[in-house]
A and B are shown apart, each in its own frame.
Chain A
Amino acid sequence: MESLETILHVRDLTLIKEDRIILDNVNIQVKKGEVCAILGDNGAGKSSMAYTIMGLSDFKPTRGRIIFLGQDISLLSINERAKRGISLAWQEPTRFEGLQVKDYLTLSCKDNPTKYLEMVGLDGKKYLERAVDNSLSGGERKRIELASILSLKPKLVILDEPDSGIDILGMGYLKKIIDGFKLEGSSILLITHQRDVLQLADSAYLLCNGRVNYQGEAKEVTKYYRAKCSKCSEGGKNNGEP
């Protein structure tokens, strides 16, 4: 039995694609109500882990299990996982020609969409009638994606590099987004390559070459990263050793 406090338990997860090990026996737990960060350099396997948890078609686990609220969801489809309360905010949100923002924000939620646009710093009236297409900038699409996920009030949200593309607004913006999800009762799995972001997390895992290298409270992981990983990152290496 899973602890009631554990909302997500990734157990012994291995993902092999085209004979390449992407995730290697990864174990992760996210507690209810917490912000859990996955820190790692480019290519560490962070997004692959996010996609595997969400159940995307090219990311079926080779081994291991994904336990959500005590149930094994490893074989469920994406929308079945979404219905159970998991959702994913993509690093690079897609475009939808002809789909209006107001419709995108009410796909599975009938709340007033303006509220969620304002939570991500957008003027609702200005955006509701716009299409989620290339008439929006990358940063606008990113915020709209986050607003749409907020409107779902997921039990667990996976935020894949939520600050990429809108870096200029920095930490204050990200904190606001995270607070918004907390307000909706969501636990958060925060995927990032920026160690500064760890200050917004409660716990963290350091992922390197598909393996968990270190885990603990966010502060501890930050210290560990500063002490042992900086040189490796600065040198552009990612050889699995801190």
Chain B
Amino acid sequence: MGNHSGHECLLRAYGDVGGNLDIFNDKKYAHLIVDGNKVCSSQDLDGLVMDAKETEDGVDIDFVLKAGYVIEKPVHLCFGVVPERGLQKINVKGIVEDNSSIDLMAYCVFPNSIEVRHMMEAYFEVGEGGHFGYSETHFHGNNGAIVNPKAKIVLKRASHFKTLFSLLRGRVGNLNIEYDVEGEEKSTADMTAKVYGSGEDKIRVSEASYLRGKDAKSLIKSRIFVKDKAESIVESKIEAYEAGARGHVDCIETILNNARARAIPIVGVFHEKAKVTHEASIGSVDKKQIETLMAHGLSEEDSIKLIVSGMLR
């Protein structure tokens, strides 16, 4: 494993948000650690080729999972900026070839951020019958960061994509998620975002699924909690173009104090045998839930904490 100033601090923050440090010394796990624009450590596996090139402001990553390969254990990625200020641009191109399977677990940590900017521009392609899981866990310290993860995902026939974005500890800062999925026949896309905002955080989650193929399916799920003066907006879009295409948007945004939340679901159906549904609930924590827990002896404050932590679990 390479060494670099701040590297230990980065890994400590990675561990704090749930990352398993042991895997970086375990050859059975592929991994990649990027501190600012430095590649600190990487590990490939048979069938998986990862190429990370350092750039002026970040890293360009190309990975290919060869056809038919199944990577059993999740690949751990750690991206971080340790100083209080800095810019990190991550460009990713990932190809998951036919009938192969991989899960990436990315941890993006900016533990000391006062003015850190992290931009990700990603393109993923999942081949026929392939599976691609991508979870992204963020930690932006106590002051928040400016973060814009942007991804375009192309799903070939009968492929599967599942993603989970979560930012549940510390402050958010300014977050702008933009994911777009194009789904071919019998593909499935399952996208979930969970964010806890406070202070004056600004959160925008924009996810779209275009179900171009017959029997393509998609679920877009958002769970956002904002308090104090934080603001959130969730834009979820599913369009279905072929017979049997099915989509569902499920959005819950809960607010406390002077926070503000908006949801903009856009659903479109362009074939008589396609169907897209949506449900959205925006408001304060449900009073009956609070009172039920209080009737079990919990204080109002503890009841709210439990309800919110359950929603974001």
Contacts and interface: CB of A to CB of B under 8 A. Distances in A.
Interface string B70-97: 0000000000000000000000000000
B292 A90 contact: yes
Interface centre among A57, A81, A96, A131 (most CB of B within 10 A): A96
Contacts of B294: 77-79, 82
Given A57-B291, A94-B288, A96-B289, A107 B296 contact: yes
Interface stretch (B33-41, B59-67, B120-128, B304-312): B304-312
A56 B289 CA distance: 12
A149 B292 CA distance: 10
B2 interface: no
Contacts of A83: 297
A54 interface: yes
A71 interface: no
A57 B291 CA distance: 8
A152 interface: yes
B289 A107 contact: no
B295 A54 contact: yes
A97 B298 contact: no
B296 A108 contact: yes
A98 B299 contact: no
Interface of B: 223, 252, 286-289, 291-300, 306-307, 309-313
Interface residues of A, number: 24
A98 B311 contact: yes
A108 B310 contact: no
- Among all A-B residue pairs, the 5 with the closest Cβ atoms: A98-B310, A98-B313, A78-B294, A108-B297, A99-B310
Contacts of B291: 54, 56-57, 78
A214 B105 CA distance: 66
Interface centre among B289, B294, B297, B306, by most chain A C-beta atoms within 10 angstroms, is B297
A34 B307 CA distance: 34
A64 B42 CA distance: 72
A152 B297 contact: yes
If over half of B's interface residues share one DSSP class (helix, strand or loop), that class is named, otherwise mixed; here it is helix
Contacts of B306: 99, 107
Nearest to B302: A79
Contact of A98 (B292, B296, B300, B312): B312
B297 A88 contact: no
Interface of A: 54, 56-57, 77-79, 81-83, 87-88, 90, 93-94, 96-99, 107-108, 131, 148-149, 152
Contacts of B307: 96, 99
Given A56-B291, A57-B287, A78-B291, A107 B311 contact: no
B310 A82 contact: no
Contacts of A94: 286, 288-289, 292
A54 B296 CA distance: 11
Nearest to A51: B291
A79 B300 CA distance: 8
A78 B310 contact: no
A128 to B, nearest CB: 16
A81 B289 CA distance: 17
Nearest to B292: A94
A146 to B, nearest CB: 13
B213 to A, nearest CB: 29
A94 B295 CA distance: 12
Contacts of B292: 90, 93-94
Given A94-B288, A94-B292, A79 B298 contact: yes
Contacts of A79: 294-295, 297-300
Given A54-B295, A78-B294, 6 more contacts: A78-B295, A81-B295, A93-B292, A98-B309, A107-B297, A108-B297
